[in-house]
Chain A
Amino acid sequence: MKRLGSVLLTMVLIAALTLLAACGKNDGAGSGGNGQGGGSSGGSNDGKSSASGGKPVELTFWGDWGGEGQKQFETMVDAFNKSQDRIRVKYVLQQDMITKFLTAATSGGSPDILFWDRWRTSLYAPKNVLHPIDEYMDRDGISRDDFYGEALKELSYDGKLYGLPLTVDARALFYNKKLLEEAGVEPPATWDELREAARKLTKWNGNKLEVSGFSLSDVGLFNMYLQQAGGTMITEDGKTNFNNEQGLSVLRFWDQLLNEDKVYKIGFEQGLGEGQDVFVTGKMAMHYTGPWMLSTYKKYGNELDFGIVPPPAGPNGDRGSVMGGFGLVIPEGSKHKEEAWEFIKWWLANKDNALLWAKTSLNIPGFKPALEDPFFADDPFWKPFLETLEFAKIRPQHPGYSVMEVDGLIPNLQLFMNGDLSAEEALGKAQEQGDRLLRENADVK
C-alpha cells in the first residue's frame, strides 16, 4: 500500500509536468490580476500621468523576432523615437510570445503594440483582446485602398479592422537559370509547361536522384494548387470544399510528376541546412518559395544564378498563390492606444517609413504606395512577387482552418504521396476528418 502511495505521488508529479505550463500560466493569470499588472506596467503609468508635463509616453512593443529581425525592428523603433519627442517605444523580444500575450491579456502588463501573425485574427478578435482601429483610420483619413485588400481582410473580423499589414508575402516559382539553360527550357507559365520542364530537368543515376526537376516536398501547398485548379478550400458555410474535380486534378497532377515523370523523390530535401539546401547546391531545378528566401539565395549569389516567375496557371488558366504575412495590432489591454496608433500609422501608413522598413528587412510592405519606389518596381526579384500578390488570396478565415489543414488534410495527402491511399480515398478521408475539425473548432466566442 505504501508503495502504491508513492507511485500515486509520482503520477501526480507527472500529471503536473504535463500540465505545468498550462496551469502555471493560469495561476499567474488568476493571482496576478491586481498586484502584478500594476507592477509590470508601472513604468508606462508614470509616463502617462506626466505626459502632459512634457515627459514622453513609454510604449512597449512585443515581437518574437530575434537576431537580424530584432535589429530590423529596432531600426524602425529608433527612427520613430527620433522623429518626435512625445512617445518613446521600446522593443521587447518575447520567446513564445503568444503564450505570454495570453497571460498578459488577462492579468494586465499587456504590451501596447503587438507583432501579429495575421491568420490568428479570426481566433483572437472574437475574444475581445484586440482593439479595433476603424475609428483611428477614419479620423486620420487613412485610405484602405492603399493597402492590400486581402491583408486587411485577414486582419478583420465581423466588419471591424484590428491592425495594419507589416509585410505581405506569397510563394512564387524559383528556378535555377543555369540548369534551365542547359536543358533548353523556358520558365513555365502553365501546369503543362511546368510538367514538361520538370521532366527535362530531372537526372537520375540508377536509384539515386541526382537532380530533381521540381520540388514536391510540401503537400501543405495544396491550397495554392487548388486555387490554380479553380477551386477553394472551404465553402461559405464552413465545410471543406476540396473533395471534388478540382481537388482530384491537383492530386492527379502530383501523381504524374512523382510517379510517371519521376521528377522528385519523397524526403529528398529533408534535414538539409541552409548551406546544403538542394536549390543552392544545384540539385533542385525549380521550387515554390517566398520572398523570405531571397536574402539566403543572394548570399550564395556566385554559385547560384536564379530567377523567379509567378506560379504557373492551372488547366483552365486560373492563377493562385496564398498570401501570408504579419501585421501590427493594438491589444485591448494597452493603456496608451492613441500613442500606439501613432506609432503604427507612422510605420505602416507612411510611404517613406514603409520603404525604410522594406529596405531594412527585405520584406514587401503592406502599404502599396511604397511599392512604386524603384527599389521594388525595377527589381527583377521583386517584380514577380508583386505580380503574384495581385491575385494571391489569404487562407480562409475560419478559426478551425489551420487545424483542419494540418491535422485533417495534410496527413491524408502525405499518405497519398506515400502510395498508401488513392487520390479519391485521400480526399474522402480528408473531407470527413476536416469537416469534423472545422465543426469542433468553429465556436470561438
Chain B
Amino acid sequence: MSSMKSLGRHEARTAYVFITPTMLLFTVFTVIPVVMALYLSFTDYDVLNRMNWVGFANYERLIHDDLLWRTFRNVLYYAVLFIPLNIAISLAIALLLNRAGLGVKLFRTAAYLPTLTSAVAAATVWLWLLHPEYGLVNALLGYLGITGPAWLAQTNTAMPSIVMVTLWQSVGANMVIYLAGLQGVPEYMYEAARLEGANRFQSFRYITWPQLKPTTFLVSTMSIIGALQLFDQAFVLTQGGPANATKTPVYLIYQQGFNQLQMGYASAQAFVLALSILIFSILNMRISKSDETFV
C-alpha cells in the first residue's frame, strides 16, 4: 500500500516537472499580461508618460460609448448569421463526404482548401468578386436578370457579405472536425435503427445529431469566439464601413490604444470584450448541456 502511495507521489512530481515549461510560458505570456491589463484598465495609461489611477472612470466612459456598443451589435449580428450557417453547412458537407468512394478525397481537399488561404489574401480576391459592376457574383446574378447590389458599399449588405466570405473560409476546417465526429459514431447504432425500421432522417435525428453533440459544442464555441474577435476580413473588405456597419470591437480597441494612445481605456474595452466572450461561451455550454450529457 505504501509503495503505491510513493509511486503516486513520484508520478505527481514527474507530472509537475513536465507541465512546468508550459505553465511558465502561460504565466509569463498570458496570466501576467492579463493581470496587468486589468490594472491598466483602471488607469489613464498612455504608453509614453502617464499612468494615474482613475478608478472606474474608464468603465463609466464605456457605458456611454455608443460606438463600442455599436461594434458589439455588429459582431452579434454577425454571430447570429454566421454560427448556425457555419454548423449547418459544414455538417452537410461532412455528411456528403463521409463515405468511401471514388473522388471523395478530392472533394474533401477542395472543401478544405479555402481554410489554407490567408484571410487577407482571400478577402482581397473576394473584394474583386463582389464588385458591383465587374464582379463575378453580380455578373452571375445578371444572367438571372437580377441587378446585384453594391455588396460591400451598402449598409444592409455589407455584413452579410462578410458572413459569406468568412463562411467560405471556415466551413472546410469545421467539416474536418465533423468528419472526425462522424467516424466516431458506432455503426451498430445505425444497424439497430435500420432493424427498427428508422428512415434516414430519423437515424440522423436520433443517432447522428445527438452523437455529434460534443463536436457541435466545439464548433459553436470556436465560432462564438471567432465571431466576437472578427477583424481581418472586416478590415480588408470594408474597413469597418459603410457607416460603421462592419466595425468590430477588436478594431476599435486597437485604434483607441495605438492611434489615440488611450491604452487604459482600450484595456477597459478589451476586458468588456473578454467578459462577453466568457458569458456567451457559458451560455452556449448551458444550452448544449441542457438536454443531454456530453463529453
A residues whose Cβ falls under 8 Å from a Cβ of B = 3-4, 7-8, 10-27, 29, 98-99, 102, 105-106, 123-124, 127-129, 207-209, 265-268, 270-273, 276, 399-400, 402-403, 407, 410-412, 414-415, 418, 420, 433, 440-441, 444-445
Asked whether any CB of chain A lies closer than 8 Å to the CB of B151, the reply is yes
A19 touches B127 (CB 8 A): no
Asked whether any CB of chain A lies closer than 8 Å to the CB of B267, the reply is yes
Listed stretches B41-49, B110-118, B173-181, B190-198; interface member: B41-49
B204 CB to nearest chain A CB (Å) = 28
Name the A residues within 8 Å of B203 (CB-CB): none
A433 touches B66 (CB 8 A): yes
Asked whether any CB of chain A lies closer than 8 Å to the CB of B152, the reply is yes
B47 touches A106 (CB 8 A): yes
Determine the distance from Cα of A441 to Cα of B250 in the docked complex, in whole angstroms: 19
Residue of B nearest to A99 (CB): B258
B243 touches A272 (CB 8 A): no
Known: A15-B274, A440-B61. A27 touches B258 (CB 8 A): no
Name the A residues within 8 Å of B29 (CB-CB): 16, 20, 24
Q: Of residues 208 to 265 in B, which have CB atoms within 8 Å of A's CB atoms? A: 225, 229, 241-244, 250, 253-255, 257-263
Determine the distance from Cα of A415 to Cα of B37 in the docked complex, in whole angstroms: 36
Residue of B nearest to A281 (CB): B134
Asked whether any CB of chain A lies closer than 8 Å to the CB of B278, the reply is yes
Determine the distance from Cα of A18 to Cα of B270 in the docked complex, in whole angstroms: 7
Name the A residues within 8 Å of B66 (CB-CB): 433
Known: A102-B48, A411-B241, A420-B243. A12 touches B34 (CB 8 A): yes
* Interface of chain B: mostly helix, strand, loop or mixed: helix
Determine the distance from Cα of A442 to Cα of B91 in the docked complex, in whole angstroms: 51
A20 touches B33 (CB 8 A): yes
Name the A residues within 8 Å of B242 (CB-CB): 411, 414-415, 418
A27 touches B33 (CB 8 A): yes
* The residue from B31, B130, B147, B285 contacting A207, defined by CB atoms under 8 A apart: B147
B253 touches A18 (CB 8 A): yes
Determine the distance from Cα of A387 to Cα of B135 in the docked complex, in whole angstroms: 39
A24 touches B260 (CB 8 A): no
Residue of B nearest to A283 (CB): B133
Q: Give 18 A-B contacts (CB < 8 Å), ordered by A residue.
A: A3-B285, A8-B278, A10-B281, A19-B33, A23-B32, A25-B47, A27-B36, A29-B47, A102-B48, A123-B261, A209-B133, A266-B150, A267-B150, A271-B130, A414-B242, A418-B242, A440-B61, A441-B262
A336 CB to nearest chain B CB (Å) = 21
* Interface of chain A: mostly helix, strand, loop or mixed: helix
The interface bits of chain B over 167-192 (1 if a CB of A lies within 8 angstroms of the residue's CB, else 0) are 00000000000000000000000000
Name the A residues within 8 Å of B92 (CB-CB): none
A16 touches B34 (CB 8 A): yes
* The residue from A8, A19, A276, A420 contacting B155, defined by CB atoms under 8 A apart: A420
Q: Of residues 37 to 66 in B, which have CB atoms within 8 Å of A's CB atoms? A: 37, 40, 45-50, 61, 66
Asked whether any CB of chain A lies closer than 8 Å to the CB of B160, the reply is no
Residue of A nearest to B265 (CB): A440
A27 touches B32 (CB 8 A): yes
Determine the distance from Cα of A271 to Cα of B153 in the docked complex, in whole angstroms: 10
Determine the distance from Cα of A17 to Cα of B278 in the docked complex, in whole angstroms: 14
Given A414-B155, A420-B155, 17 other A-B contacts at CB below 8 A? A3-B295, A8-B278, A11-B281, A15-B271, A15-B277, A16-B29, A16-B31, A17-B229, A18-B229, A23-B37, A25-B47, A208-B133, A266-B153, A267-B132, A267-B151, A267-B153, A411-B243
B244 touches A15 (CB 8 A): no
Residue of A nearest to B130 (CB): A271
B176 CB to nearest chain A CB (Å) = 21
Residue of B nearest to A418 (CB): B155
Residue of A nearest to B239 (CB): A406
Residue of B nearest to A402 (CB): B259
Q: Of residues 77 to 133 in B, which have CB atoms within 8 Å of A's CB atoms? A: 127-128, 130-133
Give the 8 A-B CB pairs with smallest separation, nearest first. A267-B150, A267-B153, A23-B33, A271-B127, A15-B274, A16-B30, A414-B243, A411-B243
Asked whether any CB of chain A lies closer than 8 Å to the CB of B273, the reply is yes
Most chain B Cβ neighbours within 10 Å, of A11, A98, A403? A11
* The residue from A7, A20, A21, A271 contacting B282, defined by CB atoms under 8 A apart: A7
Name the A residues within 8 Å of B250 (CB-CB): 18
* The residue from A11, A12, A270, A400 contacting B150, defined by CB atoms under 8 A apart: A270
Asked whether any CB of chain A lies closer than 8 Å to the CB of B75, the reply is no
Name the B residues within 8 Å of A23 (CB-CB): 32-34, 36-37
Name the A residues within 8 Å of B153 (CB-CB): 266-267, 270
